[in-house]
Amino acid sequence: MSWVQILAVSAAYYLAQSPWFAGAAYWTIYRPVVAGFVTGVIVGDPAPGLVLGAAINVIYLGFIAAGGAVPGDPAAAGYIAVAVALAHDLSRGQALALSLIVGFAGAYLWHMRLKICNYFAERAASAAESGDTKTLALLNAKAQIPVFLLYFLPAALVLTLSEQVAGAVIGLDRAVNGGISLSGLLLPYLGIASVIVSRVHYALPSALLAFFAHRYLGLPGVLALVPLLVMLQVRGVRRAR
C-alpha cells in the first residue's frame, strides 16, 4: 500500500468514529459494508472491497453497543482488515478471521476513548453550568484531537506493517492446515445465527449446522436453521405447559 492509501484509510477510520456529519457516520461509514466499499475505492478495488465488507457486516449482525460496552469494532474490521486483505490477496476466510481479531482490538480503543471523553465531558459540564458557551464549544472541538490520534495512529501503524500482518495470518493458516480460513468462513453464519436464534448457547451449533449444510450439501445456509428453530419452538411450548 502507498502512503497516500494508508493515510486515506486511516483518516476514513477516524471519520467513522467521529461525531462529524451530524452523527450520520455511525449509520453509514461505520458499518463494514460501507467501510469495505470506501476502502476498496481507496485501494483501487471497490467491488472486492464491497464484497468483503458485506461478509464482515454479516458477522456483526448482532452488534449491540448497550451501555457503552462493545463486543468488537465493526469499523476497524471494515477498514483495516479489508485494506490488508485487498493489498495482499488474502482469501475470504483469512480476511474474515483477521476482521474478528482487528475488531476485538478496536474494542479496546473504544474503552480508551471513553476515558478520554470523560475528561473533556467533566470540564464541558462545568462550562455549561457557568453559561460559558465559548469554552463549551472549544472543549468539544479539542476532544477530537486525542480521539483522532487514538484511531488514526494505530490504523496507520497496522497498515504500514500490513505485509507482516498478512504474512502472519497466511503462515498461521498454513500451520493449522487451513483452520484459520475455515473458522473465518464460519463467522458470517455465526452472525446470522446470533440474530435468528434467541439463546446464545444455541448460536454456535446453529452456525455450524448452517455452515455445513450450505458448504457440503449445497443448501441455503439460513434454511438449514429451520429444523432447529422448529425444535426450539416446540421445546419452548412444552416447557410453558
Q: How far is CA 213 from CA 122, 170, 221, in A?
A: 53, 27, 6
pLDDT in tens, 90-132: 999 999 999 999 999 999 999 899 889 889 988 889 888 888 8
| For residue 37, pLDDT beyond 60 | yes
Looking at residue 105, what is its pLDDT? 93
Q: Is the pLDDT of residue 240 over 60?
A: no
Residues of the chain with pLDDT > 90, as a percent, come to 51
| pLDDT beyond 80 at 224 | no
Total residues found in the chain within this entry: 241
Mean pLDDT, the chain, integer: 86
Is the pLDDT reported for residue 237 higher than 60? no
Helix H or strand E segment including 79: none
For 191-212, write each residue's pLDDT tens digit.
Answer: 777 776 656 566 667 777 777 7
pLDDT band (50, 70, 90) for residue 221 = low
Residue 238's pLDDT is what? 59
**Predicted TM-score (pTM) of this structure:** 0.84
Mean pLDDT calculated for residue range 149-167: 97
Nearest to 87 by CA among 176, 150, 170, 186: 170
The residue with cell 440474530 is: 195
- Gyration radius of the chain's alpha carbons: 21
pLDDT at 232: 62
Q: Burial level of 62, CB count in 10 A (0-12/13-18/19+)?
A: middle
Which residue reads 485487498 in cell numbers?
A: 86
pLDDT of residue 186: 83
Closest CA to 183 of 163, 160, 211: 211
| Nearest by Cα to 171 from 90, 101, 72, 68 | 90
**46-59 and 92-129 helices, crossing angle to 10°:** 70
Q: What is the pLDDT of residues 43-92, one digit of tens each?
A: 999 999 999 999 999 888 877 666 666 778 999 999 999 999 999 999 99
Q: What are the helix (H) ranges across 26-143?
A: 32-43, 46-59, 74-76, 82-87, 92-129, 133-142
